[in-house]
A = this chain, B = another copy of it.
Amino acid sequence: MQNLRIGLVGLGTMGAPMAATLLRSGFILSVYNRTTARCGPLVELGARACETLGELGAASDVVITMVSDTPDVEAILFGSGGLAASLAPGAVIIDMSTIAPAAAVRFAKLLAERSVAMLDAPVSGGEAGARSGTLSIMVGGERAVFERILPVLNAMGTSVVHAGPAGRGQMTKLINQIATSLNLLAAVEVVRVARAAGLNVEDTLRVICGGAGASWLLTNLGPKIAAEDFAPGFRIRLQDKDLQLARAFAGGLGVETPGLALAASLFRRALEYGLGELGNHGLYRLWD
């Protein structure tokens, strides 16, 4: 399996450490990024840098895409010089970006016409999870394809679940974002009220994280909120994008989700206030 030639497109906050993790696991890796400079550190770790998507596609059996949004994935796959034209029949696309489930289904169908398989495999666990290969990965697509490329996913994640046919990985991720956004809102309100009450915020976080109020978000971002360190991590701009997708998804199912609706409206407000490039815990700044 380590003989599989892997390509990875998108060396951002998540893509770059995921590429490094694949190299550490012994995979043969080509990388492509619009801003070429980002390839440098990975070339030092043994990756091949490609000048074009076409070059990467021709050199890869499996291509991972890790970009911001639906139109980015569409351009990478089907735009001029995109992967659809360069991948050999039998190749596999693993889109690990978070995009609209309906788009994931559409892209998978279009690629199938060229005998290219596609999995939608978005992730949770943040930059730290990408760096340590402990991501949570939610996979939609054909089970046989999933099983074939499972060693690639297992190199990047410790909690890898096949959620069903195409689109189901994205659906699961959008549901995950209901949890992350509400747990994050809780973390923000915990710090705000603790501070206003004159409590020691670190002690408050520690004792809450020892009980039923514990969450990944509170443990990992609570101390950053307390320190007013709002460096991303995962940007408000992208959290907003995910929550808009989640609202459309839940709304399309006819499910009332007041928690998600509130979180989505607050992140939208944060974006409008110009906080989009802060880490998502910068939601705290909305009340500054």
Asked if A200 is an interface residue, CB under 8 A from chain B, the answer is yes
Q: Do residues A259 and B212 form an inter-chain contact, with CB atoms below 8 A? A: no
A258 to chain B, nearest CB (A): 6
Q: How many A residues face the partner with a CB closer than 8 A?
A: 74
A172: CB under 8 A from chain B?
Answer: yes
A75 within 8 Å of B (CB atoms): no
Determine how close the nearest CB of chain B comes to the CB of A273; give it in whole angstroms. 15
CB distance from A213 to the nearest CB of B (A): 3
A218 on interface, CB distance cutoff 8 Å: yes
Hey, which chain B residues are within 8 Å of A189, CB to CB? Answer: 178, 182, 250, 255, 257, 259-260
Q: 1/0 contact trace for A147-183 toward B, CB 8 Å? A: 0000000000111111110001001101111111111
By a CB distance below 8 angstroms, the chain B residues around A185 are 182, 258-259
Are B211 and A199 neighbours in the complex by a CB distance under 8 Å? Answer: no
The verdict on A266 contacting chain B, using a C-beta distance below 8 Å, is: yes
| Interface residues of chain A: helix, strand, loop or mixed (majority) | helix
A212/B217 in contact, CB under 8 A: yes
Q: Is the CB of A258 within 8 A of B262?
A: yes
1/0 per residue, CB under 8 A from B, across A244-266: the answer is 00000110011111111011001
Chain B residues, Cβ within 8 Å of A181: 186
**In-complex Cβ contact of A207 among B159, B190, B220 (8 A):** B159
Given contacts A179-B187, A185-B259, A199-B172, contact A124 B213 (CB under 8 A): yes
Q: Residue A129 at the B interface, CB < 8 A? A: yes
Kindly identify, within residues 232 to 283 of chain A, every residue whose CB is under 8 Å from any CB belonging to chain B.
249-250, 253-260, 262-263, 266
Contacts of A183 in B (CB 8 A): 179, 182-183, 186, 213, 215
Of B126, B190, B254, the contact of A212 (CB 8 Å cutoff) = B126
| Chain A residues packing against B (C-beta within 8 Å) | 123-126, 129, 135-138, 157-164, 168, 171-172, 174-183, 185-190, 192-194, 196-200, 203-204, 206-218, 220, 249-250, 253-260, 262-263, 266, 287
